[in-house]
Amino acid sequence: MAGDKAPSPMLKDGTPTSTTAADRLAQVNAHIAPNTPKRRRRKGAASDLPADYSDILGQINTLRKTAATPDPKNRGYVRQKQAGKLWVRERVEQLLDPGSFQEVGSVSGTVKWRQTGPRSEDPTDYVPSNNVQGFGRLRGRKIVFTADDFSIRAGHADGALIEKTIYMEKLAIALKLPIVKLVDGSSGGGSVTTIRSTGFSYVPPLPSFTQVVQQLNAGIPNLGAVLGPAIGLGAARVVACHFSVMAADIGSLFNAGPNVVANATFEEGLSLTDLGGPQIHCTNGTIDNLAPDEAGCFEQLRAVLSYLPDVGTKMPPTLECGDPINRVSESLRTLIPRSKNRMYNPRAIIYEVVDQDSFFEIGALWGTTAIVGLARLCGKPVGIVSLNCEVNAGALDALGSQKITRMLKFLDVFNIPLIQFVDIPGYAIGTVAERTATMRHGITLATTYYATTMPIFSVIVRRVYGVAGGVMLDCRDPRMRVAWPSGVWGSLPLEGGIEVGHSYELKEIERTQGKDKRDERYKELEDKYNRLMNPVRTANAFGVEEIIDPACTRRVCCEWVGHMYESLLPQRIMERVAGKLNPMFT
């Protein structure tokens, strides 16, 4: 009814909701002690340390600043400057693109600590590791690098952390980045003082060379510079590189220094350059190139890298080309003398054919019977091999064979096609050639031609004789080659060949009719053979595929290189990635 009270809301069990809420509130209050004092956490030593870790960051900044600031009173630093050498961090700054240096292991070294609290300490003395390493860029290309600090224990192991170097070698493989090595000292090699610090001697290890060999064969560019005395392990590290350069004013390289040599071989009073300076190692093939100074070394490292991929599973980098592909070089028509015994400048051919200012010669001071290097055709990197008729009449000697062998392996691991300008009278002959094992090194060259697989295009500019000529021109099937109208070829040059082939006839004429008649007959034979050796006759028999106008050589080479980069090199890269093709530099 209207006057009755409305019933209270009920739960399912019939209990009023207001009663239930009150009971629950009382139950919660019973568990709370309102006057219980708050417990305070005991203040420990850790609470004295800053929450933002500024103490740790401060220690790092202190150590980094110490490492980056030269001490003009330090004996090693003074010695470095007196020798006319840059300090290690000055080298890094000059080598790399501005602002690109990222150091790895920036605080590695030997530190003395002073305790300032129960859990706090500060560095009081710091000797950095004598190898600065990290990442950087060369003309925009990312690299890893190592740089020796000769001012600290001359780069010896007792001032180094070999783990740093091994780590950078592994990083180059893992990240597929080129590695640059600035060597000044022993690069972490041994010192007798290590025995004193460890308390025992040791069997010498070579822990980083496993990675070095992997890099070399994988086509990860290894570029080294000798910027002081490269000793022992330091010498080995730079010589193992794909490309090496030495500073003429400060560089030297040897297995052991003058003091050790004096005790072992009794050669006393040797200076560093007497023992292993540029005049020795830039002329015997130990080091590839010579630069006037450190800045020159850095520029050569940048130049070489510009032709190379980061790794052998990538294409070589190409550039825009402003040099017309159809450029005609009329000077090449008259470059080769009609007299086959006269010399000419073989480098003039290279300069005329390749893109302007693109030829970078490697090993100009050693193995001088051969010319090798890197260049570009229509902006694309190519290798160059040429024989040098100005040295030993172009006959290929032992060092020349070694030089070309090394270049072939270099091009193979980097997927760079080869253009070769062939004028070869054969392997060098005579007692000097035999004593220097010319045939041994010549056959090593031959096996390398046939073992490598990079594309080869040959331009026969003049002579092709003997085994050496056959090796250079018959190492690919099908052969890709053209000849100039100046080409002459055969098993032997006519000079000497006529005497061998007509020995009995000429001797009989001289015995029965006299020397004048013998000379007359020789002249008849010479004229006849010269007529028969007209290169057009060889082309008639398809013994040479095509004879071209020398002035058009650039266009022919550019068309071939363009096809290699469009069609064959991408296929080669896929085979490298799939593991079907595994070139070997070592």
CA distance 539 to 87: 62
Global pTM reads 0.87
- DSSP secondary structure letters along 40-101: PPPP-GGGGS-TT-HHHHHHHHHHHHHHHS--TT-HHHHHHHHTT---HHHHHHHHSPTT--
Same domain for 225 and 100? yes
Given a contact cutoff of 8 angstroms between Cβ atoms, the answer to whether 583 and 452 are in contact is: yes
CA distances from 482 to 332, 479, 490 (A): 15, 10, 16
Q: What is the pLDDT of residue 467?
A: 94
Q: Which residue has the higher pLDDT, 14 or 237?
A: 237
Mean pLDDT of 510-521: 92
Given a contact cutoff of 8 angstroms between Cβ atoms, the answer to whether 553 and 325 are in contact is: no
Q: Please report, for the domain that includes residue 350, its CATH number.
A: 3.90.226.10
Per-residue b/e over 97-119, b at no fewer than 16 CB within 10 Å?
Answer: eeebbebbbbbbbebeeeeeeee
Range in 27-41, 190-204, 262-276 the model is least confident about = 27-41
Asked if the structure places residue 43 within a domain, the reply is no
Given a contact cutoff of 8 angstroms between Cβ atoms, the answer to whether 423 and 381 are in contact is: no
Instruction: Please give the single-letter amino acid code of residue 514.
Output: G
Same domain for 131 and 219? yes
- With the C-alpha atoms ordered 351, 356, 357, 358, is the resulting torsion angle positive or negative? negative
Q: Which residues have CB under 8 Å from 416's CB, separation 6+?
A: 307, 308, 316, 374, 381, 382, 383, 410, 454
Residue 317, both tokens: 């980098």
Domain that holds residue 360: 330-484+548-578
Asked if the structure places residue 259 within a domain, the reply is yes
Same domain for 407 and 296? no
Residues of the chain with pLDDT > 90: what percent?
A: 76
Residue 557, both tokens: 């080479």
Range in 126-135, 309-318, 365-374, 450-459 the model is least confident about = 126-135
pLDDT tier at 162, thresholds 50, 70, 90 = confident
Q: What is the pLDDT of residue 50?
A: 87
pLDDT tier at 1, thresholds 50, 70, 90 = very low
Residues of the chain with pLDDT > 70: what percent?
A: 89
Same domain for 190 and 95? yes
Residue 402, both tokens: 């070694």
Same domain for 231 and 189? yes
Same domain for 563 and 473? yes
pLDDT at residue 7 above 70?
A: no
Average pLDDT, the chain: 90
pLDDT tier at 457, thresholds 50, 70, 90 = very high
> How far separated are the first and last CA of the chain, in Å rounded?
110
pLDDT tier at 280, thresholds 50, 70, 90 = very high
Same domain for 563 and 461? yes
Given a contact cutoff of 8 angstroms between Cβ atoms, the answer to whether 294 and 85 are in contact is: yes
CA distance 121 to 114: 5
Number of domains present in the structure of the chain: 2
CA distance 479 to 260: 53
Domain-terminating residue out of 306, 340, 369? 306
Please state, as a whole number, how many other Cβ atoms lie within 10 Å of the Cβ of residue 158.
19
Mean pLDDT of 184-212: 77
Q: What is the pLDDT of residue 157?
A: 53
Reported as type and span, the H/E element at residue 22 is helix 17-30
pLDDT at residue 94 above 70?
A: yes
Given a contact cutoff of 8 angstroms between Cβ atoms, the answer to whether 547 and 515 are in contact is: no
Mean pLDDT of 356-378: 97
CA distance 154 to 183: 11
Asked if the structure places residue 322 within a domain, the reply is no
Asked if the structure places residue 563 within a domain, the reply is yes
- With the C-alpha atoms ordered 147, 148, 152, 156, is the resulting torsion angle positive or negative? positive
pLDDT at residue 14 above 90?
A: no
Same domain for 169 and 124? yes
Per-residue b/e over 293-329, b at no fewer than 16 CB within 10 Å?
Answer: bbebbbebbbbbbbbbbbbbbbbbeeeebebebeeeb
CA distance 203 to 530: 66
CA distance 416 to 410: 9
Given a contact cutoff of 8 angstroms between Cβ atoms, the answer to whether 366 and 399 are in contact is: yes
Q: What is the pLDDT of residue 41?
A: 56
Same domain for 80 and 164? yes
Domain-terminating residue out of 272, 306, 340? 306
Backbone angles phi, psi at 195, to 5 degrees: -60, -40
Q: Which residues have CB under 8 Å from 446's CB, separation 6+?
A: 467, 471
Asked if the structure places residue 46 within a domain, the reply is no
Same domain for 350 and 284? no
Reported as type and span, the H/E element at residue 452 is none
Same domain for 337 and 286? no
Instruction: Please give the single-letter amino acid code of residue 565.
Output: Y
Q: Which residues have CB under 8 Å from 426's CB, separation 6+?
A: 395, 396, 465, 466, 467, 468, 469, 493
Residue 103, both tokens: 């150091």
CA distance 234 to 252: 11
Q: What is the pLDDT of residue 380?
A: 98
Domain-terminating residue out of 249, 272, 306? 306
Partnered with residue 360 across adjacent β-strands are 374
Given a contact cutoff of 8 angstroms between Cβ atoms, the answer to whether 359 and 507 are in contact is: no
CA distance 150 to 154: 4
List, for residues 17-72, the tens digit of each pLDDT value: 556 667 776 766 666 555 555 555 555 556 678 899 999 999 999 999 999 999 89
Start-end of H helices in 306-389: 346-353
Same domain for 226 and 369? no
CA distance 94 to 219: 26
Residue 115, both tokens: 């305790």
Q: Which residue has the higher pLDDT, 492 or 183?
A: 183
Residue 56, both tokens: 């740790």
CA distance 330 to 350: 14
Reported as type and span, the H/E element at residue 264 is helix 258-265
Given a contact cutoff of 8 angstroms between Cβ atoms, the answer to whether 449 and 471 are in contact is: yes
Asked if the structure places residue 232 within a domain, the reply is yes
Cis peptide preceding 478, ω within 30 of 0 = yes
Asked if the structure places residue 513 within a domain, the reply is no
Asked if the structure places residue 20 within a domain, the reply is no
Reported as type and span, the H/E element at residue 580 is none
Mean pLDDT of 371-399: 97
Q: What is the pLDDT of residue 2?
A: 46
